[in-house]
Structure 1
Amino acid sequence: MAALPKISVIVPVFNAGNKLVPSIESLLKQTLNDLEIIIVNDASTDNSGVVIDQLAQANNNIVPVHFTENKGVHEARLAGLKKSIAPWIGFLDADDFARPNMFAVLHATAIDKDVDIVICGSDRVTEQRNVMAPKLQFKSSEEVDKDVFRRFCQFEFGTGMLWNKLFKRSVIEPWFDMHFPWRQNINEDLLLNIGCFYRAKSVYLCKEILHEYVLNESSVTSVTTNAKAYLNTYRAAALAVSLFSELGDEVLSKVIDMYRTQLSWIDYQIVDVRSILSYEEEFKEAVDLINRVRPAALALLAARQRPPVIGTRLALKLLIQKGLSVAGFRATQR
């Protein structure tokens, strides 16, 4: 019987075409040879399917998965996860690059430090792989074994991307069936990360920059307006409330606080409320979901953030514990 690969790397693909080849080659040229590369074709309408099959025919460690209908990046990743067999899981987007020692360093660190998740830095690069600036970088390497979930929810480990991390299978496998009631193409990676970091007992931050994020000005995140970004993030918050409310008030208060923070960032600020009125049905769907699960979360997501000295976090926990309805909640300012 063949030995198990050390890492399964999942690559979701939609209309990547020939750009996919150099990305996959960055995995094939890894100094760690024991990789399983699972490429999930999300019903591409270009030649991506042909390219994937050609790569799989030439490399026996590539596992192709083809969708007959387009389901979105999250469902593609879930399909890859269910196909995976390795004890460690990594991700790569179809237009990004893993530097040659990326997975060797992540895996060696995970084993040596005995942690559940390892995170590395990433450079923002051009399509020609010229470095523009760091996208994420840690000042120094650090093992974190206390307050892991709290620090994650405060964005101390980055903004929730999947592609710069290595996950122990035991922290991600419980979420293999994390299906959403609607298609969520933005912030979907943060939702999966919430589940993983909730289960993680320890993580390691690598100061090394091992990943290259290709800046694509035509990507979904690059062309999204503030109104659309706000909508998608609010809908992600609704999913988070639905998915994680059963984990208890302490966890839910941290998750809600995280989304309140994210929605306060400049890319999500709404200057003219008329810009979101055309999304009324999508907002209603999200509001209805929250209202069914935890009505108080509606008020908490909309509440203004205050300086920590006022005790915002304590107020959040008390509101959730009392299960206040939206109608019964009134913010009091002193």
Structure 2
Amino acid sequence: MVKNKLSIIMTAYNVAGYISSSIESVIAQTNHNFNLIIVDDCSTDQTQKIIRLYEQKYDWIFVVCHKQNSGVSSARNTGLKYATGEFVTFIDGDDWVEPDYVEHFLKKFADYDVDMVTCGFFNEGENGKVKNKLAPNQTSIVGRDEAIKQIIKMTGTVMGYTWNKAYIRSIIMDNNLSFQTDLDLMEDQVFNVEYATVSREFYFDNVPLYHYISRKDSITKRFAMENVRDVGVARMKIYKAIRDSSRKEKNQLQ
């Protein structure tokens, strides 16, 4: 068995009150064939101290600390540089995952010849109340067009998030994919569309394994007006990725 088959990239910025719960949920995984890369984006609270203590305790945890705050996209890109697993996924440092989160991804990749695997999620308030409606378990294997359609939808269990998806790392590396550092919003959706345009088949599953915590100080709430620009830029990038992919396919058929 390949050691550390899945690389989990956890990004953190001033999440001292939550990061331990997030890491503990990873420690509690039923399948331990993974490593954890924690990228701290120059936190000013006790986040770095906490994650260094975990790094000292577990040899499969690796910590990288940015010298200056650069944003979540930059932190994810840093994590990708240090990832070694065949597969890769992302966790935010103030969220947490179910014990079979890793097992789910690794088993589906082993059972099916696909380039992406998804799971469902709980959208919770800080009081622990679940906001989203959970549907009966549904699975499907879809092609590129349907995958992109689900990624850019504003509802559903797929959407543009990275934390409910696992990817083949070689596809990311071979196509020089990275997160857009000039965006504070929808950067994950752009990444997912770009990944989808160079992939073949996708395993979609809505079993809820990720706990996304909606916090009052989230960037989408704090900078509503400023985000208008990011939405426009992100949509342009998504359109370009889809257009370029369609052109490439047409040229290959000629």
TM-score, scaled to structure 1: 0.67
Deviation string 1:184-224 (CA, Å, 9 cap, x unpaired) is 12111111111211122111111311111112011111333
Unpaired segments ≥5 residues, structure 2:
250-254
2:226 equivalent in structure 1: 228
Paired with 1:242 and 1:141, the residues of 2 have a C-alpha distance of 29
Deviation string 1:104-157 (CA, Å, 9 cap, x unpaired) is 0121012102211111110112345x3413377675111113634543455276
Matched residue type, 1:223: R
For the aligned residues, what is the CA RMSD? Answer: 2.6
**Which is richer in helix?**
1
Report 1 or 2 for greater relative contact order, CA contacts < 8 Å, sequence distance ≥ 6: 2
Change in 2 beyond 3 A, CA 1:179/1:110: closer
Deviation string 1:70-101 (CA, Å, 9 cap, x unpaired) is 11100110110110000010110011111011
Number of equivalent positions? 247
Q: Which moved more, 1:191-200 or 1:61-70?
A: 191-200
SS class of match (1:17): coil
1:124·1:132 contact (CA, 8 Å) conserved in 2?
yes
Change in 2 beyond 3 A, CA 1:20/1:154: closer
Q: Using the TM superposition, give the Cα deviation of residue 43 of structure 1 relative to its aligned residue in structure 2, in angstroms.
A: 1.1
Note the 1:91-240 alignment, pairs <5 A: 91-127=90-126, 130-134=128-132, 140-145=138-143, 147-152=145-150, 155=153, 158-174=158-174, 176=176, 178=178, 180=180, 183-225=182-224, 227-240=225-238
2:55 equivalent in structure 1: 56
Structure with higher Rg: it is 1
Matched residue type, 1:27: V
TM-score, scaled to structure 2: 0.86
Note the 1:1-334 alignment, pairs <5 A: 3-127=2-126, 130-134=128-132, 140-145=138-143, 147-152=145-150, 155=153, 158-174=158-174, 176=176, 178=178, 180=180, 183-225=182-224, 227-240=225-238, 246-249=244-247
1:120·1:137 contact (CA, 8 Å) conserved in 2?
no
Change in 2 beyond 3 A, CA 1:248/1:114: closer
Identical aligned pairs, as a percentage? 25
Paired with 1:78 and 1:138, the residues of 2 have a C-alpha distance of 35
